[in-house]
Amino acid sequence: MTSEASSGAVPVAIERLSKHYGPVRALDEVSLTVEPGEFVTLLGPSGSGKTTLLMTIAGFTRPTAGSIRISGQEVVRLPPHKRDVGMVFQNYALFPHMSVGDNIAYPLKLRGLPKAQRQAEVERVLDLVQLGGYGGRRVDQLSGGQRQRIALARAIVFAPRILLMDEPLSALDKQLRERMQIEIRRLHDRLDTTTVAVTHDQREALTMSDRVAVLHQGRLMQFDTPRALYERPASRFVAEFIGESDFLPVEVDGGVARFAGQGLQLAEAPAAGEWELLLRPEKLVLANGTAPAAGINRFVGTLRDAVFQGESVLLTLQVGGHEIHARLPNRHLAGHDAFEPGATLGLDLHAADSRLVARA
């Protein structure tokens, strides 16, 4: 067993991995590399292939074609117990007839460790997940958050080369889930274990990950850092799936981009053709009464509604036959008569935030 930090973090290389169920391609030639000690999340809607990909890494699903190498070793034909992988399942899969301590010690028992050593390791990881002294409790005496931590402790107690997690926080309420996202990330940083997780929750993926692999219909759409995915999505699908977004049709000709005849200033010069301008609601600001400054794109439209949402107000505008949204701090509501349906409003978008994606 290792001490708190692991020096055995390993890379995972996946090349042209496919899994077919008859005519259905659950995975379609997916290739990506997880670096040693990296936290990667597989993100996508239901049926995107993210869980199938995780299960092929774990060894519970045999791919139709392709390669999986862990620290340079081909493991496609290795059974799960020979891959040295720790697994946290969506429903935690704790044994109800065993105590907390026995649940955690189970992987060590399978590996033939003496009882005294098992006990020492159990106590170590219980302290690590901030549940010291819980070893004698029954599983049914634990809260959802505590069960999640015990499942995590069982997955890391034998110092696996890779930690895999399948929707580990899906059973928790919103407040606890957000707290556990931070705790899991902190634990990962302390252990320095190569980690691959699955989620359909975009905020969870952005919070915990070094990089995020976005999957759709079995294909890898983009694999990048959270900030790059949000700021520079490679496609409309990624832009829609990561954060709130609206789109305006843009024509590019002769190096000039136009929406409804209005010239636009952009972060990057695109090729000629048909594109869509990505609008993030929080990047739009209320225009003042003066002409737009250099580097600002202004969109003028008719206000349909203004919805108070606590810390912010969500505006819906009709602009050139298209509906767009802006999220403003709620202080803008105070004494502002312009927020009446039918009012004419301008919204400004900085050129640095004006990015095009390929038209769907």
d(CA 223, CA 202): 14
8 A C-beta contact, residue 324 and residue 299 = yes
Looking at residue 338, its pLDDT comes to: 63
Tell me how crowded residue 313 is: count the other CB atoms within 10 A of its CB. Answer: 19
Domain shared by 275 and 205, yes or no: no
Q: What is the CATH number of the domain that holds 18?
A: 3.40.50.300
d(CA 70, CA 74): 7
- Residue 4 covered by a domain: no
182: left (phi over 0), alpha (psi -120 to 50) or beta: alpha
Domain shared by 69 and 200, yes or no: yes
Domain boundary among 237, 268, 291: 237
Regarding beta strands 65-70 and 73-74, do their DSSP bridges make them parallel or antiparallel, or are they unpaired? antiparallel
Tens digit of each residue's pLDDT (9 = 90 or more) over 345-359: 999 999 999 999 988
Regarding beta strands 273-279 and 262-264, do their DSSP bridges make them parallel or antiparallel, or are they unpaired? unpaired
Domain shared by 212 and 316, yes or no: no
Domain shared by 20 and 110, yes or no: yes
- Residue 233 covered by a domain: yes
Q: 3-class DSSP state for residue 183?
A: helix
Domain boundary among 185, 212, 237: 237
Strands across the sheet containing 246-253: 262-264, 256-259, 246-253, 273-279, 355-358
Upper half-sphere CA count for residue 75 (Cβ side, 13 Å): 25
Looking at residue 6, its pLDDT comes to: 43
Tens digit of each residue's pLDDT (9 = 90 or more) over 200-234: 999 999 999 999 999 999 999 999 999 999 999 99
d(CA 40, CA 180): 17
Looking at residue 8, its pLDDT comes to: 64
Looking at residue 5, its pLDDT comes to: 40
Domain boundary among 237, 254, 275: 237
Domain count, the chain: 2
Segments forming the whole domain that contains residue 218: 12-237
d(CA 252, CA 226): 28
d(CA 71, CA 8): 10
Q: What is the CATH number of the domain that holds 322?
A: 2.40.50.140
Question: Which residue ranges of the chain lie beneath pLDDT 70?
Answer: 1-8, 332-338
Looking at residue 336, its pLDDT comes to: 55
Among residues 72, 37, 32, 73, which one has the least CA distance to residue 54? 32
d(CA 356, CA 270): 8
Domain shared by 181 and 330, yes or no: no
Among residues 296, 226, 236, which one has the least CA distance to residue 264? 296
Looking at residue 168, its pLDDT comes to: 85
